[in-house]
Structure 1
Amino acid sequence: MSNSIFGTRRGSAPVPLSLLDFAMAGKGVAARDALADSIKLARLADRRGFTRYWIAEHHAMPGVTTSSPPLLLARLTGETQHIRLGAGGMMLPNFPPLVVAEQFGLLASLAPGRIDLGIGRAPGTDMATAAALRRGDIGSEAFPKQLDELLHFLDGSFPEGHRYRKEGVYAVPGPLQDQENGIPRSFARPPVWLLGSSDYSARVAAQMGFPFAFAAHLADQNVDMAIKIYRERFRPSALLDRPYVIASFGVMAADDADEARRQAWAYSHAMMRMSTGRSFVIPGPDEARDYAYSTGELRLMEMWNAKIMSGTGEQVVGQLARWHQRINADEMMILNLGYSQQAIYRSTELIADAYGMPDDIGSASHA
Structure 2
Amino acid sequence: MLGTARGRAPVPLSVLDLATVGSGLTATDALRTTVELARRAERRGYHRFWVAEHHSMPGVASSSPAVILAHLAAHTGRIRLGSGGVMLPNHAPLVIAEQFGTLEALAPGRVDLGLGRAPGTDGHTAAALRRSDALHEGADDFPRQLAELVRFLDDDFPDGHPYRRIHAVPGPVQATVPGGVQSTARPPVWLLGSSGFSARLAGALGLPFAFAHHFSAANTLPALDLYRESFRPSAALDRPYALIGVSALAADDEREARRQVLTGALAMLRLRTGRPGLIPTPDEAAAHPLGAVEREFVDGWLANVVHGTADAVRDGLTALAQRTGADELMITSNAHGPEARLRSYDLIADAYGLPVAVG
Taking structure 2 as the reference length, what is the TM-score of the superposition?
0.95
CA distance in 2, matches of 1:14, 1:336: 20
1:245 aligns with 2:242: yes
How much is the aligned-residue C-alpha RMSD, in angstroms? 1.3
Contact 1:273 1:281 in 2 (8 A): no
Contact 2:10 2:321 in 1 (8 A): no
Aligned to 1:134: 130
Distance 1:264 1:20, change over 3 A: same
Aligned to 1:102: 98
1:289 aligns with 2:270: no
CA distance in 1, matches of 2:229, 2:137: 30
Residue identity opposite 2:161 in structure 1: H
Aligned to 1:67: 63
CA distance in 1, matches of 2:22, 2:37: 16
Other structure's SS at 2:214 match? helix
CA distance in 2, matches of 1:101, 1:89: 14
The alpha carbon displacement at 1:136 in A equals 2.5
User: How many residue pairs were aligned?
Assistant: 350
More deviation in 306-315 or 277-286? 277-286
1:31 aligns with 2:27: yes
Question: Cα deviations across residues 212-261 of structure 1 (Å, max 9, x unaligned)?
Answer: 01110011111111111111111000111100111110011111211111
CA distance in 1, matches of 2:19, 2:217: 22
* Alignment equivalent of 1:90, drawn from 82, 86, 93: 86
Aligned to 2:216: 219
1:327 aligns with 2:285: no
- Identity, in percent, stands at 54
Distance 1:280 1:144, change over 3 A: farther
CA distance in 2, matches of 1:342, 1:187: 41
Aligned to 2:4: none
Taking structure 1 as the reference length, what is the TM-score of the superposition?
0.93
Aligned to 1:159: 158
Aligned to 1:4: none
Other structure's SS at 1:105 match? helix
Question: Cα deviations across residues 277-335 of structure 1 (Å, max 9, x unaligned)?
Answer: 11143111111111122222222212212121110111111100111110111111100
Structure 2: segments with no counterpart, 5+ residues: 1-6
CA distance in 2, matches of 1:249, 1:185: 37
* Alignment equivalent of 1:55, drawn from 41, 51, 56: 51
Contact 2:171 2:182 in 1 (8 A): no
CA distance in 2, matches of 1:318, 1:12: 12
Contact 1:263 1:340 in 2 (8 A): no
* Alignment equivalent of 1:337, drawn from 334, 337, 343: 334
Aligned to 2:148: 149
1:188 aligns with 2:185: yes
Aligned to 1:349: 346
* Alignment equivalent of 1:316, drawn from 313, 320, 331: 313
Aligned to 2:253: 256
Residue identity opposite 1:15 in structure 2: V
Other structure's SS at 2:72 match? helix
Question: Cα deviations across residues 68-100 of structure 1 (Å, max 9, x unaligned)?
Answer: 111111011121111100000000000000000
1:267 aligns with 2:231: no
Other structure's SS at 1:162 match? coil
Residue identity opposite 2:269 in structure 1: M
